[in-house]
Amino acid sequence: MSVLHVRYNGESFDLLFEDIDVGDLSTDQDVKQAVANHFSAPLTKMNGFVVDRNAETGDMTLRPQAVFG
């Protein structure tokens, strides 16, 4: 069972792909839209977030973009 790990509003969440209707072929935009819908948030809240895909496990992580410097 694949999991989407989400870091949102300072908290971590693990969401099953099937519960938010995403899969391996979902685009980054699809993933962001699904998470926005899950949290009843506007899609613009996902601006600046990135989707990391783990090729070994099939899991994904949605997190704020890291800023260095």
CA–CA–CA angle 4, 33, 59 (5° rounding): 15
Amino acid 18: pLDDT? 96
Task: Specify the pLDDT at position 55.
Answer: 92
The pLDDT of residue 68 is 75
* Residue 34 contacts residue 57 (beta carbons within 8 Å): no
Per-residue pLDDT of the chain (69 residues; tens, 9 = 90+): 899 999 999 999 999 999 999 999 999 999 999 999 999 999 999 999 999 999 999 999 999 997 776
- Structural contact between residues 8 and 15, judged by C-beta atoms closer than 8 angstroms: no
